[in-house]
A and B are shown apart, each in its own frame.
Chain A
Amino acid sequence: MSLAARVRVRRGAFELDVDLAVEAGETLAVLGPNGCGKTTLLHVLAGLVALDAGRVTLDGVVLEDAAQGVSVPTERRPVAVVFQDLLLFPHLTALDNVAFGLRCRGRSRSDSRRIAREWLDRMDLGDRTQAKPAALSGGQGQRIALARALAVEPRLLLLDEPLAAVDVQARAQLRRDLRRHLTSFGGIRVLVTHDPLEAFALADRVMVLEEGHVVQTGTPAAVTARPRSRWVADLAGVNLFSGRAGDGRVALEGGGALVIADAVRCGEVFAVVHPRAVTVLRARPEGSPRNVWRGPIEEIDVEGAVARMSIATTPRIIAEVTMAAVESLGLVPGQDVWVTVKATEIVLYPA
Chain B
Amino acid sequence: MTPRREGVPPAAAVVASLGAALFILPLVGLLWKAPWASLAQALVAPEALVAIRLSLLCSLAATVLSVVLGLPLAWVQARGTFPGRALLRALTLLPVVLPPVVGGVALLAVFGRRGLIGQWLEPLGIRLPFTTAGAVLAETFVAMPFLVLSMEGVLRGLDRRLEDAARSLGATRWTVFRRVTMPLVRPSLAAGAALCWARALGEFGATITFAGNFPGRTQTIPLAVYIELESRPEVGVALSLVLLAVSLTILVLLRGRWLEQP
Contact between A87 and B165 (Cβ–Cβ < 8 Å)?
yes
Contact B171 A100 (CB under 8 A): yes
Q: Which of B164, B169, B183 contacts A80 (CB 8 A)?
A: B169
B161 & A104 in contact (Cβ 8 Å cutoff): no
In the bound complex, residues from chain B placing their C-beta under 8 Å from that of A85 are 161
- State whether the Cβ of B53 lies closer than 8 Å to any Cβ in chain A: no
Looking at B162, B166, B167, B175, the one whose CB has the most chain A CB atoms below 10 A away is B167
Q: Decide if B184 touches A152 in the complex (CB within 8 Å).
A: no
- Shortest A14–chain B CB gap in Å is 20
Which residues of chain B in 141-178 are interfacial with respect to chain A, using CB atoms and an 8 Å cutoff?
159, 161-162, 164-172, 175
Given contacts A80-B169, A89-B180, A152-B169, contact A104 B164 (CB under 8 A): no
Q: A87-B161, A87-B162 are in contact. Are A74 and B167 (CB under 8 A)?
A: yes
A296 to B170, CA, bound (A): 60
Q: How far is the CB of B179 from chain A (nearest CB, A)?
A: 7
User: What 0/1 readout, one digit per residue, does chain A (272-298) give for beta carbons within 8 Å of chain B?
Assistant: 000000000000000000000000000
Task: Say which residue of A48, A77, A105 sits within 8 Å of B164 (CB atoms).
Answer: A48
Q: How many residues of A contact B (CB 8 A)?
A: 24
Please determine whether A74 and B164 come into contact, CB atoms closer than 8 angstroms: yes
Rounded to whole Å, the gap between the CB of A290 and the closest CB of chain B is 56
Q: Mark A43-87, 1 if CB is under 8 A from B, else 0.
A: 100101000000000000000000000000111110111010101
One digit per residue, 1 when the CB lies within 8 angstroms of any chain A CB and 0 when it does not, for chain B 185-208 equals 000000000000000000000000
A75 contact from B161, B162, B172, B184, Cβ within 8 A: B172
Distance from B79 Cβ to chain A, minimum over Cβ atoms (Å): 16
In the complex, which residues of chain A have a beta carbon less than 8 angstroms from the beta carbon of B172? 75, 104
Indicate which residue in A48, A83, A90, A105 contacts B170 across the interface (CB closer than 8 Å): A105
Cβ contacts under 8 Å, A90 to chain B = 162, 184
Q: Contacts A81-B165, A100-B179 given; indicate if A152 touches B159 (C-beta within 8 A).
A: no
Quick check: is A11 within 8 A (CB to CB) of the other chain? no
A249 contacts the other chain (CB 8 A)? no
- Are the C-beta atoms of B170 and A101 separated by less than 8 Å? yes
Given contacts A89-B180, A90-B184, A91-B183, whether A101 and B162 have CB atoms under 8 Å apart is: no
In the complex, A52→B249 CA distance in Å?
Answer: 55
- A155 CB → nearest B CB, Å: 13
**Which residues of B sit under 8 angstroms from A226, Cβ to Cβ?**
none
| Contact indicator A48/B183 (Cβ below 8 Å) | no
Docked Cα-Cα span, A75 to B167, in Å, equals: 5
In the bound complex, what is the Cα–Cα distance between A100 and B162 (angstroms)? 12
- Taking CB atoms, residues of chain A closer than 8 Å to B161 are 83, 85, 87
Q: Cβ of A48: which chain B residues have Cβ within 8 Å of it?
A: 164, 167-168
Nearest CB to that of B173 among chain A residues?
A75
Distance in Å from the Cβ of B98 to the closest Cβ of chain A? Answer: 37
Interface residues of B in 19-36 (CB under 8 A from A): none
* Minimum distance in angstroms from B169 CB to a CB of chain A: 3
Using A83-B161, A87-B159, A89-B162 as known contacts, say yes or no to A101 and B183 having CB atoms under 8 A apart. no
- Compute how far the CA of A73 lies from the CA of B174 in the bound complex, rounded to whole angstroms: 14
Instruction: Chain A residues near B179: list those with CB within 8 A.
Output: 100
- Closest CB of chain B to A345's CB: distance in Å? 49
Q: Which residues of B contact A105 (CB under 8 A)?
A: 170
- A residues in contact with B164, CB < 8 Å: 43, 46, 48, 74, 83, 87
State whether the Cβ of A148 lies closer than 8 Å to any Cβ in chain B.
yes
Mask of B85-122 contacts with A, CB within 8 angstroms, 1/0: 00000000000000000000000000000000000000
Residue of A nearest to B168 (CB): A81
A100→B169 CA distance, assembly (Å): 7
- Assess the A46–B169 pair: CB atoms within 8 A: no
CB distance from A327 to the nearest CB of B (A): 47
Which residue of chain A is the closest to B163 with respect to CB atoms? A87
Cα A104 to Cα B169 with chains together (Å): 7
Cα(A81)–Cα(B166), bound, Å: 10
Which residues of chain A come closer than 8 Å to B167, judged between CB atoms? 48, 73-75
Once the chains are docked, how many angstroms separate the CA of A49 from the CA of B162? 15
Among B169, B180, B184, contact of A101 (Cβ-Cβ < 8 Å): B169
1/0 per residue, CB under 8 A from B, across A159-192: the answer is: 0000000000000000000000000000000000
The 7 A-B residue pairs with the shortest CB-CB distance in the complex, in nearest-first order: A101-B169, A104-B170, A87-B165, A74-B167, A81-B168, A104-B171, A91-B183
Which B residues contact A (CB, under 8 angstroms)? Answer: 159, 161-162, 164-172, 175, 179-180, 183-184
Additional 8 contacts, C-beta under 8 A, given A74-B168, A148-B169: A48-B168, A75-B168, A83-B161, A87-B159, A87-B161, A87-B165, A89-B166, A152-B169
Can you name 15 A-B residue pairings with CB atoms under 8 Å? A48-B168, A74-B164, A74-B167, A80-B169, A81-B165, A83-B161, A87-B164, A89-B166, A90-B184, A91-B184, A100-B169, A100-B171, A101-B170, A104-B166, A104-B171
